[in-house]
């Protein structure tokens, strides 16, 4: 990816602004280099304004927050028609936010970004939840509401269905096996940076599965720039550069990984594989001189 694009993305992602949809659209330039976020941001803003109008005109007064949540959920998944892409979950378009808005289809985290933005514009207090394997949304009561203070968990992939603890156990075991147990730390709030890193990781995996190594390398550029301490991403960027026959870039990243990655018995085989790869790259470089 061109450095100016990486710089623009990182500047937006690390700013204090509430600009998650804008960052998600900048991320989509790995597939659409000339993408203009403005029309998509206007579309999203109009969705939120319409949701707010539904509440103000249709309900009037100050209905309970659970009622407002139900109306907004029906609007996003019913009237707007957003849906989880069960049949083609690994399609990269599910992680490209412009495609998600155009197709009204995505995976849990990208649908969550839509829902959070629309719901907040409609006056609800919502946040992302970094649940393992399946991103969730949490809706919190109004600060002034003293009668109903228990937050609600929603599944953005299944039409905003409300989740019980038993539902969360089922989701967790789908991804981590039948012995997995819920832990409090699994329900941590996901900030803007957390969400973007998870979106990028999803997109990278989708491109790798398709053997679209150039796009996967561009995504990994963003991952490394946003999280320089992510040594696994540094290693992967080197391996992807090698696939692209960019030997100098590959050597730079893989040698850096070997120098910085902790040495342990568990990683001994992996380090040997990377070291063998580095030696092969050095021979290839020498043959070009």
Average pLDDT for residues 196-214, to the nearest whole number?
97
- Encode pLDDT of 153-190 as tens digits: 999 999 999 999 999 999 999 988 888 898 989 999 99
Q: Is residue 195 part of a domain?
A: no
Q: pLDDT class for 226, splitting at 50, 70, 90?
A: very high
Residue 251's domain comprises 230-289
pTM value surpassing 0.75? yes
Are 206 and 233 a contacting pair, CB within 8 Å?
A: no
Cα–Cα dist 250/263, whole Å: 21
Cα–Cα dist 102/268, whole Å: 46
Per-residue confidence (pLDDT) for residue 167, from 0 to 100: 95
Say yes or no: 184 and 237 in one domain: no
Say yes or no: 137 and 259 in one domain: no
Q: Is residue 19 part of a domain?
A: yes
Least confident of 2-11, 28-37, 169-178: 2-11
Q: Is residue 74 part of a domain?
A: yes
Say yes or no: 235 and 182 in one domain: no
Say yes or no: 156 and 20 in one domain: yes
Per-residue confidence (pLDDT) for residue 147, from 0 to 100: 65
- Encode pLDDT of 97-148 as tens digits: 999 999 999 999 999 999 999 999 999 999 999 999 999 999 999 876 656 6
Where does a domain end: 128, 162, 190? 190
């Amino acid at each position: 990816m061109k450095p100016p694009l990486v710089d623009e993305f990182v500047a937006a992602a690390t700013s204090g602004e509430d600009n998650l949809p804008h960052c998600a659209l900048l991320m989509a330039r790995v597939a659409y280099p000339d993408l203009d976020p403005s029309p998509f941001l206007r579309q999203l803003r109009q969705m939120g304004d319409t949701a707010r109008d539904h509440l103000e005109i249709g309900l009037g007064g100050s209905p309970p927050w659970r009622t407002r949540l139900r109306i907004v959920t029906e609007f996003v998944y019913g009237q707007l028609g957003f849906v989880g892409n069960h049949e083609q979950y690994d399609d990269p378009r599910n992680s490209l936010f412009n495609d998600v808005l155009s197709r009204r289809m995505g995976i849990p985290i990208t649908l969550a970004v839509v829902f959070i933005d629309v719901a907040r514009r409609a006056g609800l207090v919502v946040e992302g939840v970094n649940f393992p394997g399946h991103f969730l949304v949490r809706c919190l009561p109004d600060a002034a509401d003293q009668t109903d203070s228990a937050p609600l968990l929603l599944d953005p992939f299944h039409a905003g269905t409300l989740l019980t603890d038993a539902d969360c156990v089922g989701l967790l075991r789908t991804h981590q096996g039948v012995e997995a147990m819920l832990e409090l730390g699994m329900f941590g709030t996901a900030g803007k940076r957390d969400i973007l890193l998870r979106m990028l990781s999803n997109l990278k995996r989708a491109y790798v599965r398709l053997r679209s190594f150039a796009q996967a390398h561009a995504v990994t550029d963003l991952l490394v720039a946003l999280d320089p301490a992510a040594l696994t991403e540094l290693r992967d960027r080197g391996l992807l550069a090698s696939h692209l026959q960019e030997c100098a870039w590959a050597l730079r990243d893989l040698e850096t990984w070997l120098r910085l990655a902790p040495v342990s018995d568990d990683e001994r085989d992996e380090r040997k594989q990377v070291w063998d790869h580095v030696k092969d790259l050095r021979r290839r470089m020498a043959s070009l001189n």
